[in-house]
Homo-oligomer: A and B are copies of this chain.
Amino acid sequence: MNLIPIDDPQDLRVAAYLDIRERDLVGRHGRFVAEGKVVLDLLLSTGRFTAESALILENRLTGVQGILRKAPPDFPVYVAAGEVMDRIAGFHMHRGILAIGVRGAAAPAEILVETLPRRALAVVLVGISNHDNMGAIFRNAAAFGADAVLLDRTCCDPLYRKAIRVSVGAALKVPFASFGDTAAFIATLDRLGFSQFALSPRGATDIRAADHSARLALYLGTEGEGLPRDLLARLNTVRIGMAKGFDSLNVAAASAIALHHFSNR
């Protein structure tokens, strides 16, 4: 392992870790931050993204050695004491495990879906703008073996630091890509033989009764407004049956139920 002690918070080699919260807001020029042991493990083992370096609290190093060995031998592992690490990050880093990943070139969703297997489950997100919901949906997508997450341009970034953390690293595992024109994308999935379902509280069919093919796309919209009306008109709409007087479900909870249901098809 290429262990590099860092004593000076201003050391240029750890510049990518400076002022983490402030940098969340302005962006990282094609980089993202992975936090914690489980997320670091996924970053280094899935191979979906290139890891650039890690910054580890000195007393956490022993616990992550096995994981760090999954990186190339020359992979820089910066090691710092607690006070130095906190001054780099700009706040108290109690977990003490950070890494920088490289986004790489983003393939358009139209290309990603061409690569999906004959039997596939795709999640299509429209207007999901909350990072907690984004992370939770990715976690559920990974738990139920979804093959891809496709996002319209109004969705927030799955590689935002908090989204990755809430996803427990699933955002680094499940392939995702963005599309522009929703109507054209629906036509693409249609051509590829996907049964396309939009989840909506006023869906025409109970999800338990939804008839579908081996390739399935599940559309989820924002919690308040739901999916746009013109989109609902183009797709099969399904609902999750709820109690009278409280038909309110968080979009991440709805994704868990729907993905669990369809994962068993």
The interface of chain A, by Cβ under 8 A from chain B, is 136, 139-140, 142-145, 168, 170, 173, 208, 240-243, 246-250, 252-254, 256-257, 260, 263-264
Contact = CB atoms under 8 A, between A and B. Distances in A.
B140 A249 contact: yes
Given A142-B248, A143-B246, A240 B260 contact: yes
Contacts of A240: 260
25 contacts: A136-B253, A139-B248, A139-B249, A139-B253, A140-B249, A140-B253, A142-B243, A142-B246, A143-B242, A143-B247, A143-B248, A144-B242, A144-B243, A145-B242, A168-B248, A208-B264, A241-B260, A249-B256, A252-B253, A253-B253, A253-B256, A254-B256, A256-B256, A256-B257, A257-B257
A242 B136 CA distance: 15
B249 A143 contact: yes
A264 B242 CA distance: 10
A-B interface, 8 closest residue pairs, ranked by CB to CB distance from nearest: A145-B243, A253-B256, A142-B246, A143-B242, A257-B260, A256-B256, A143-B249, A256-B257
Nearest to A254: B256
A139 B242 contact: no
A69 to B, nearest CB: 19
A241 B257 contact: no
A226 B138 CA distance: 22
Nearest to A38: B248
B246 A170 contact: yes
Give the interface centre of A136, A140, A143, A241 by most chain B CB atoms within 10 Å: A143
A242 B240 CA distance: 20
Contacts of A249: 139-140, 143, 256
A173 B246 contact: yes
A34 B140 CA distance: 30
Contacts of A256: 249, 253-254, 256-257
Give the interface centre of A144, A168, A253, A257 by most chain B CB atoms within 10 Å: A253
Nearest to A132: B132
Contacts of A253: 136, 139-140, 143, 252-253, 256
A240 B260 CA distance: 8
Nearest to A255: B253
A104 B173 CA distance: 48
Given A208-B264, A254-B256, A256-B257, 8 more contacts: A136-B250, A139-B253, A140-B249, A142-B248, A143-B247, A170-B246, A170-B248, A253-B256
